[in-house]
Amino acid sequence: MLKQQRADYLRGRLQELYPETPIPLDHRDPYTLLVAVLLSAQCTDVRVNLVTPALFALADNPNEMMRVSVEQIKAIIRPCGLSPRKSAAISELSKILVEKHGGEVPADFDALEALPGVGHKTASVVMAQSFGVPAFPVDTHIHRLATRWKLTSGKNVVETERDLKKLFPRESWNRLHLQIIFYGREHCSARGCDGKRCLLCRELFCPPTR
């Protein structure tokens, strides 16, 4: 099966398996999504969803968050890990949003990636899910799955994102990245796949990896 054939097959199967793609991170608007995605770095979505209610009860917009001390933020988000760095980033980006963007999250990749603690993947999630702009956020799990499914030979998430965007229609990107995440969490772990129990790996004849 050629690479494009594999991609087309996967897109169809993932649509069958996951016709609905709810955003895993609880949020109310672009700002709360931005903060939640930032917190999800090296942390599970489940844990982030347990932490954010207390944080957003304290402040759920940039104007209020910039007035909260970094220590208060850090105390709440500690279970998410990397709390010193994340708390400082949340505080500083809130100030920047107020001072430079009128208290609104900008619908612009460059402006988002200029914010503290916001990389390309975080910006892509916000652009895709808050503003409906086609993007293909690629984390390390998606990178491993794309490699396992022989969709890319990329050495990192940047190269894999480039390859996936070439293989899949632009209008499918926002939905597809979530479908891959859902499938990976349920059936095909980042650590490995035995090539037998995993439905798509078995159908695509992927060799065992452990």
Given 8, 26, 60, 139, which residue is catalytic?
A: 139
Given 74, 121, 166, 196, which residue is catalytic?
A: 121
Q: What is the dihedral of CA 187, 191, 195, 198, to 10 degrees?
A: 0
For this structure, is 121 an active site residue?
A: yes
Q: Environment class of residue 210 by beta-carbon count within 10 Å: exposed (0-12), middle (13-18) or buried (19+)?
A: exposed
For this structure, is 74 an active site residue?
A: no
Q: How many CB atoms lie within 10 A of CB 12?
A: 10
Residues known to be catalytic: 121, 139
